[in-house]
Structure formats: C-alpha cells, structure tokens
Amino acid sequence: GQQVMQIPQYQHVQEGEDFTTYCNSSTTLSNIQWYKQRPGGHPVFLIQLVKSGEVKKQKRLTFQFGEAKKNSSLHITATQTTDVGTYFCAEQHGSGNTGKLIFGQGTTLQVKP
C-alpha cells in the first residue's frame, strides 16, 4: 500500500549537533503526524500538521509541512541524549481523526554524549 518514505533510516550525531528527518509522499497528504518511540517503548504522539506550509515548534523540535503538502520534516536543535529513539511520520487515510494511520519506516537517532 501507499506509504510515506522517510530518510535517513539511521542517524548518529554528537550531543549538541542538530538532527533532521524527512518524510516524503508522492501524493498530497491531508495531514501528517509525528511520533517518537524510545528503545523498548511504544510510539508517542508528538504533533499533527494540517495546513500547507505549517511550522510548529516544541522546545528544540521544529516541525514543517511542505507547501504542496507532500513532504514534512522534523528538526531537532542541539540534540541531547534524551532525544535518542526512532522518529516516525505517519499519514492518515480517511476523514477526520478516525481514518487509518500509515507509518513511515522511521529514522533512528543515536546521540553520542
């Protein structure tokens, strides 16, 4: 089935460096959600982007939705060891918040102290 593509698959950074993960789709997305999964944990909802060109910030995390609503990015400024985990973007099929959510393959972030 259709799925958003996420890159890179893995990223190793030194603590304090920035990190970005990208999510791309061949079709226009109604909205996109981002989740974080710590090692051994479960996905935790971070944010939802709905509007074209939308930018949202959560402390050191910046989320963007492309103008054409076909791509999205998550940028972390000055990474910390607590940022370790896998970051997933997910596209929603169907209307409202009750359509099915299809996840990308995720980007696993390792942070070296």
Partner 1 sequence: DAGVIQSPRHEVTEMGQEVTLRCKPISGHNSLFWYRQTMMRGLELLIYFNNNVPIDDSGMPEDRFSAKMPNASFSTLKIQPSEPRDSAVYFCASSLRGAGYGYTFGSGTRLTVV
Kindly list the residues in this chain that would bind partner 1 in the complex (CB under 8 A): 1, 31, 33, 35, 41-48, 50, 88, 96-98, 100-106
Residue (28 or 97) nearer to partner 1, CB: 97
What is the end-to-end Cα distance of the chain in Å, rounded? 39
Residue (62 or 105) nearer to partner 1, CB: 105
CB 68, min distance to partner 1, A: 20
CB 29, min distance to partner 1, A: 14
CA nearest 30: which of 113, 85, 100, 84? 100
SS3 labels along 22-53: EEECCCCCCCEEEEEECCCCCCEEEEEECCCC
CB 100, min distance to partner 1, A: 5
Q: Say if residues 84 and 109 touch (Cβ distance below 8 Å).
A: yes
Residue (100 or 112) nearer to partner 1, CB: 100
